Structure 1
Amino acid sequence: MAQKTYNEGEFTYVEEGEGQVLLILHGLFGALSNFNDVVNGFKDNYRVIIPVMPIYDMPMRQASLEGLLKFIESFVDHKELDDMILLGNSLGGHIGLMYTLAHPDKVSALVLTGSSGLFENTMGGSFPKRGSYDYIKERVEYTFYDPKTATKELVDECFEITSSIPKCMNIVQIAKSAQRNNMAEEITSITAPTCLIWGLNDTITPPHVGHEFNRLIPNSELHFIDKCCHAPMMERPEPFNKILNKFLTKINQTVPS
């Protein structure tokens, strides 16, 4: 079932539940529906919030990681959020890393799944083939271990996005911005407890990327999910939520009273 969205000025977002904030950042082709199982699994104990990042609609001169970071900073300020758990998939993980480094006082924990920031294989680095439904279908299926996970609704959504020249130009510009922004040196200073949840069969950010994040982020733990590719929260929601719940329970038990 689709989550209810709220609109306040320039912001569109999902918000469910009460408690500590679990702020979710979606990827380059991400949709709010990608996180339905996370919302449903954690809304009883957390205030789950997912802002829609203006990837396709922001002015082209602002279409970059820095532009998206400013947007998230504005959203957090608008909602007066604090003591957040940040969860980011793919590009959203990259933005999460940047936000954590810029505002360590606001982030109590970080969760990355298939995050960019070190290395990725993506169609975003070159202009997506407009008008080729079969090509878009193949690329969407490539992000899943089981191609059937790429529903017609999901493929149609991506096809609609890539049928627009301005949206494609933003996608390419943001993807190139991500590829230029290697965070290997900066992330060694992250002190927040970090949970890395990786698809063992990830073709976009392969397993070695998860291992490298684990090596570079001091207070991190790495978990792999078998028969799973780039979006574990969609493809294997039950093991994903189990790992996330165990991590959140553990860090909450270690917080000083």
Structure 2
Amino acid sequence: MTDEESTTSTEGAEGAKSVKSAESSESAKDFEPLTVTYERLRHSTDAAELSEFARRQLPDRDDQAAFSRATALLEAVGGNPNTPLEDRVFLAETMPFPNVLVKLAKDPEASVRKAVAGNTDDKNWLVGRLTKDPVPEVRDAALRNKRTSWKMRLEGAQSPDSDAQILDFLATLGTELEPDAPKVLSSMVRRAVALNPNVSMQTLAKLEGDPSLEVRHAVEKRRREREK
């Protein structure tokens, strides 16, 4: 290599290094700390920006820093009422992250809470909370979610606010649906359905042939009460 070639090569390397350094400096200048971006998105009124964040593909989980940042920002987007309704419903249906779902579970729109209630990635305590929602459709969606605890299912079966449709569903647990469910717990739910004033005659008739003696006795008791 000649002295001229050596000099050119060295200058090229130095130039590349300078460009890379300048790009890194520019990137660092543009990078917002997480807390700054979070607060900006939490209070943003820019529906387009919020929608883009809601639909943005998540980084690979192997990049833990980027992944954690993205999920934290989704919490801000999900909790912002200025995020378009269809995007909040999308997040409520698809997100597996408790921090995002907790925000969406408090959404003023029932359709968003209903989507959270039906999300099978919910923690049981969160879906259990939604079984107490003031809107019947949200409560029903939560009670149909397999993540709901048996305690919540039993309370739903006992509740005077439960309608005939959700009682029809609860009456099948441990028999037609989830046949491997704990026998004692599932029969307690079906017994409570039989005793609920809102149970339909069709469901009551079906429970007459229930495999649990306790449930059959409850059906008899309910029929006697109706005949009075």
For normalisation by structure 2, the TM-score amounts to: 0.30
- Give the strand-richer structure, 1 or 2: 1
Higher normalized contact order (CA 8 Å, seq sep 6+, divided by chain length): 1
Give the number of the structure whose alpha-carbon radius of gyration is greater. 2
For normalisation by structure 1, the TM-score amounts to: 0.28
- Give the helix-richer structure, 1 or 2: 2
